[in-house]
Structure 1
Amino acid sequence: MTVTSNADSSKKRFLITGSNGLLGQKLVELLVQDSSIHTIATARGENRLPFKDHYAYLPMDITDPEQIEEVIAATKPDVIIHTAAMTNVDQCELEKDGCWKQNVNAVEFLVSACKKHHVFLVHVSTDFIFDGKAGPYTEEAEPNPVSFYGWSKYAAEKIVIHSDIQWAIARTVLVYGIAHDMSRSNIILWVKKSLEEGKNIKVVTDQFRTPTLAEDLAQGCFLIADQKAEGIFNISGKELYTPYQMAIMTADYFGLDKSLITSTDASSFTQPAKRPPRTGFDLTKSEKILGYKPHTFQEGIAILAKQIGV
């Protein structure tokens, strides 16, 4: 494998998995602004980032251990930030084998390569490892997943924790944001589009989350990677809201008709995967150790509005 890179050997070398995804794109955008870092973006297939300068791109399928070994041996990263995963909760429930390959086996392969090449691993995890009975959670809370997706992410965490590599886990909650060529929407864009089209929407009041701006999650992952801070860190928004509250705040921001929004509960939806009712994170540790400071949800809506040109 030839790595087309004129990277200065004195630079820190950060490799991103899943660089075509929302978090992956935000991380590459953030890292290329730092001249002390050489950024290596990887994802399955073609590079979908809208810009091509100041980083190297290599295709890497995280379910292929030989390809992982080849890329890591060639690029020699100091840190891997592992963002790639199957995150569609219902899809994971219906396609368990695919979910396990992407969320668990892939982590085994990455841990093995990190051990061989002495790489610090930042693994991105989720609030769905919890049952949602006692949120917001600290890093020390006991996991108890209620969905197959949650179990796959908990299994991946255990692989990382029990490995003998240098590692960190960045847990996050309900990530929202906008990126290039993205297939999935988020609550802000969904509410905005629905209300603009005059559609009535039902939004739940019996689930609680600390919604996370994608840029904040990228910043949190960078802070961990840059400091090589070991252990588990909660990286999310700070405010606990129901999706209904988020929808009302979105309607207010864009001056849309709130009467189209009806409150309901989770029992009115038939979804393959169960959701934890009350998660959210306590950020005390991340604020103190990393200096992590997330935006408010209101600020997040404004950032998103600016990005879509509103």
Structure 2
Amino acid sequence: MKTVLVTGSNGLLGQKLTQQLLITKQFNLVATSKGANRYPVTAGYVYAEMDILDAEQVKQVVEKYKPDAIIHTAAMTNVDTCEDQQELAYRLNVDSVKTLTLLAETYNIQLVHLSTDFIFDGADGPYDELAAPNPLSYYGRTKLAAEEVVKNSKCKWAILRTIIVYGIMGDLSRSNIVLWAKGALEKKEPIHVVNDQWRMPTLAEDLADCCLLAVKKDAYGVYNASGKDMMSISELVAKVADFWHLDKSYIREISSASLNQAARRPVRTGFILDKTINDLGYAPHSFEEGLAILDQQMEARKRGSE
């Protein structure tokens, strides 16, 4: 059985990978993250504390557990924070990848690297895997630089590009757009939502599935791994309101320009998923199906806490 090491295992995608690997028992799991393990179940896998900025510590963990594959989910993903803290963003998003590719080359490890739609300018989405990148933000530039590091390495690699990941886990340090919109509308708080950006939101379970398919099938190359439904951000929030029967009058549609954000965002991204569906067997849920899965998980959690 292959051993898979996951970086950033305390994040949403990292926790979904832990969950799925414990259920399917496909691979032996070494979960790694900075600080203590936040996943509620601690049996059935190994957790190793690992700071991806500490190249020596990363080397020690990799040498100790000898993984067959590394799924690299750890990154700085807040687009405006990356714009404001460029040196740290580069270290987290590019230097960490240099460390991992060198180890993957040395020990013949497959590297599955997570990337983003923000490597594109959004002028003519949706994009296939061969589309020419043109990032608008420093975040996008670091993620593109990381892709180049991976592509130029001699290791076995797969790059999975994704878009707006949503979902819920037990202990998350940050929210995501679906949980944010639902929470605010339940409290009857007015929310400002842009109506001039289009995306294909991705259920965290679907992305975790794609990561594991990439390992299982020894995938090589670039793959798009997002949800399958294109919508504007305001449509996304309206769908959240409709699903949970919340009052849409609290949604205030605004233009991106009125936000004065530190980083520019692409207008229309989205991905063409044919290659990933055909080559890996990727089967993403619709957005409504994703919301239903989320709802079931929330109900199960509520029952568990009663």
Alignment partner of 1:301 out of 274, 280, 291: 291
- Residue of structure 2 in register with 1:8 after alignment: none
Deviation at 1:130, TM superposition (A): 0.5
The answer for the alignment partner of 1:6 in structure 2 is none
**1-structure distance, mates of 2:75, 2:66:** 22
- The residue number in structure 1 matching 2:156 is 166
SS state of the match for residue 74, structure 1?
helix
2:195 corresponds, among 197, 202, 205, to 205
Moved over 3 A (4+): none
Does the alignment pair 1:278 with 2:268? yes
Instruction: Pick from 124, 127, 133 the counterpart of residue 114 of structure 2.
Output: 124
2:146 maps to 1:146: no
**Which of 145, 153, 156 is equivalent to 2:146?**
156
Whole-angstrom distance in 2 between the partners of 1:115 and 1:157: 16
Could you tell me the TM-score, scaled by structure 2's length? 0.96
What is the distance in 2 between the residues matched to 1:212 and 1:36?
23
Identity, % of aligned positions: 50
Is 1:241 the equivalent of 2:231? yes
- Quote the offset at 1:33 in angstroms: 2.1
Shift of 1:36: 4.0
- Which of the residues 254, 269, 273 maps onto 2:244? 254
- Aligned partner of 1:192 in structure 2 is 182
**Within 1, Cα distance between the matches of 2:61 and 2:275?**
34
Report what 1:225 is aligned to. Answer: 215
Tell me, in whole angstroms, the C-alpha distance in 2 between the residues paired with 1:254 and 1:120. Answer: 41
Letter in 1 for 2:185: L
State how far apart, in whole Å, the 2-side matches of 1:205 and 1:263 are. Answer: 6
Deviations 1:166-211 (A, max 9, x none): 1000000010111222122122222222122112222111100000
Does residue 289 (structure 1) correspond to residue 289 (structure 2)? The answer is no
- Select which of 57, 60, 71 maps to 1:81: 71
Q: Which residue of 2 aligns with 1:67?
A: 57
1:136 pairs with one of 126, 137, 143: 126
* 2:274 alignment partner AA: T
Alignment-derived partner of residue 13 in structure 1: 3
> Normalising by the residue count of structure 1, what TM-score does the alignment of the two structures yield?
0.95
In the alignment, structure 1 residue 182 sits paired with structure 2 residue 172: yes
| Distance in 2 (alpha carbons) for counterparts of 1:274 and 1:70 | 38
Q: Which moved more, 1:27-36 or 1:105-114?
A: 27-36
- RMSD over aligned Cα, in angstroms? 1.0
Cα distance in 1, alignment partners of residues 31 and 178 from structure 2: 28
SS of corresponding position for 1:58 = strand
Distance 1:35 1:186 in 2: 28
Aligned residue identity for 1:144: N
Residue ranges of structure 1 left out of the alignment (5+ in a row): 1-10
Amino acid at match of 1:189: L
Matching of residue 46 in structure 1 with residue 36 in structure 2: yes
**Secondary structure at 1:33 match in 2:** helix
